[in-house]
Amino acid sequence: MSKPVVGIIMGSQSDLRIMKEAAEVLDELKVAYEVTVVSAHRTPLRMVEYATAARGRGIQVIVAGAGGAAHLPGMVASLTSLPVIGVPVKSSNSIDGWDSVLSILQMPAGVPVATVALDGARNAGILAAQIVGAADAALGQRIDAFKESLKVKVETTAKDMETKGWRSAL
């Protein structure tokens, strides 16, 4: 692949079990990306360096996943004008994931973070591709084909269920 246009970052390596889904969908859509660990709490200077240098390295959107207090997406958004997509991760120290969701969702005016569902890294990857694809016609066509494949899959499943009965779908 070419130079990364999407940065996928996470607060700790344990978040990779969820965040890999963003990378997998970007692979599927042929979008170049990078993946690393950047902790808002344990490596704040690394976070500042990553966020402030991302645009200069060609990154167009950042997908940031974090669990628990989940400050990484918001802190990164405060340091860059690039779009940031937050992925709340249900972690071992989480309050059923709600602490992560609210930490990412409740950003102050002027520091937006697009937020996906709890453990929703796949959707974050798709959204990142759509953001990049808004100015890349070839990628836009791949995303259109991807969305069409989702439609076909649902229609095929519906037809099978209607002809074979609902029990066949279990």
∠ at Cα 24 (53, 82), nearest 5°?
25
42 annotated as ligand-binding: yes
Does 46 score more than 80 pLDDT? yes
Domain boundary assignment for the chain:
6-135
Q: What is the pLDDT, as a whole number, of residue 39?
A: 95
97: amino acid identity, one letter: G
91 annotated as ligand-binding: no
Q: What is the pLDDT, as a whole number, of residue 1?
A: 56
Region 44-60: mean pLDDT is 98
Closest CA to 71 of 46, 52, 110, 99: 99
- CA distances (Å), 139 to each of 1, 16, 29, 93, in order? 13, 25, 7, 38
Q: How far is CA 44 from the centre of its chain?
A: 21
Q: Considering the domain 6-135 in this protein, what is its CATH number? A: 3.40.50.1970
Region 30-54: mean pLDDT is 97
pLDDT level of residue 92 (50, 70, 90 thresholds): confident
